[in-house]
Chain A
Amino acid sequence: MEAQAIFDILKGKFGDAVVELQGEGYSPAFVVVAAAAVKEVSRFLKEDPNLSFDVLMCLSGVDYKEKFAVAYHLHSLKHRHAIGLKAMLPRENPSLPTVDDVWPAANFNEREAFDLFGIVFEGSKDLRRILLPPDWEGHPLRKDYKYPDFYHGIKV
């Protein structure tokens, strides 16, 4: 199914929660949705038999300087089609619902986004740092991150 058709289905089902389609220059095309609706949209994308997006290929945090975003890359093994899902977040206290009960694989990716961007996934099964040590301060992939001088007495 083409991106425009998927967008139309989502728009018809969720209305204003589906903001826009980023098609030009994007591969796969991205459907931008409101952060609060991510879980419902994800569940629909997975469980609707005509869409059946059963693979979460990738979940990443993005820092656009004035705002954050979380991008989801979805793929369907049954229909062999793909779509992206994107949720924009404010810079202050970025948080959105987790999707780890829709695709269990999301947990590690969400932990990575939490670790490096400080994006909080509400209702997550297990939201801890995954790459950096548990007592690390700050979120290093943020554009305004300041490097610490020392970590446990070792110069950084």
Chain B
Amino acid sequence: MVGNADLFVNWARKSSLWYLLFATACCGIELMQAGASRYDMDRFGAVFRATPRQADLMLVAGTITHKMAERVKRLYDQMPEPKYVIAMGSCANTGGPFYKDSYCVVKGVDLIIPVDVFIPGCPPRPEALIDGIMKLQKIIMRRKNYGAKA
């Protein structure tokens, strides 16, 4: 009985992954592409929202500077639970091309907020982004919402 409730809740969550449009660099172009008609992320229930208060998923698409880090944290805090984060592209994963010698770029968005899925690539193709979203859906399906408390 508890298993069925988990299954239902997780299925509902994974099928409506509304993501916060948060594009700070060229990954944002691939993100737009993935949302547009050719790759059509709407098929997986992933549509973009312009406000964190309506979003379940934060797609960090691009370079995060130290000046931006505060805003990233604030937007993440404004999202309602349960919330997930995908770090898209080398910059959001590790700092990417700015890893070696930069004073202003945060070396990975996981230094600021918890990340569920990392997508490598500079920038990743839309297929890679869709793969990352499907990986996140698998993570959501594994989640025990009620069983853990029992």
Residues of A with Cβ closer than 8 Å to B? 131-133, 140, 145, 147-148, 151-152, 154-156
The proximity string for B residues 60-73 relative to A, scoring 1 for CB distances below 8 Å and 0 otherwise, is: 00000011011000
- A147 to B106: give the CA distance in the assembly, Å: 13
- A131 to B66: give the CA distance in the assembly, Å: 11
- On chain B, the residues within 8 Å of A147 by CB distance are 103
9 inter-chain pairs at a CB distance below 8 angstroms, sorted by A residue, are: A131-B104, A132-B67, A132-B104, A133-B66, A140-B104, A152-B70, A154-B111, A156-B66, A156-B107
The proximity string for B residues 61-94 relative to A, scoring 1 for CB distances below 8 Å and 0 otherwise, is: 0000011011000000000000000000000000
The proximity string for B residues 86-116 relative to A, scoring 1 for CB distances below 8 Å and 0 otherwise, is: 0000000000000000011011000110000
Residues of B with Cβ closer than 8 Å to A? 66-67, 69-70, 103-104, 106-107, 111-112
- The A/B interface has a contact count, at CB < 8 Å, of 25
- A152 to B67: give the CA distance in the assembly, Å: 10
With A155-B107, A155-B111 already in contact, 20 other A-B pairs whose C-beta atoms are closer than 8 Å: A131-B67, A131-B104, A132-B67, A132-B104, A133-B66, A133-B67, A140-B103, A140-B104, A145-B103, A147-B103, A148-B103, A151-B66, A152-B66, A152-B69, A154-B66, A154-B69, A154-B111, A154-B112, A156-B66, A156-B103
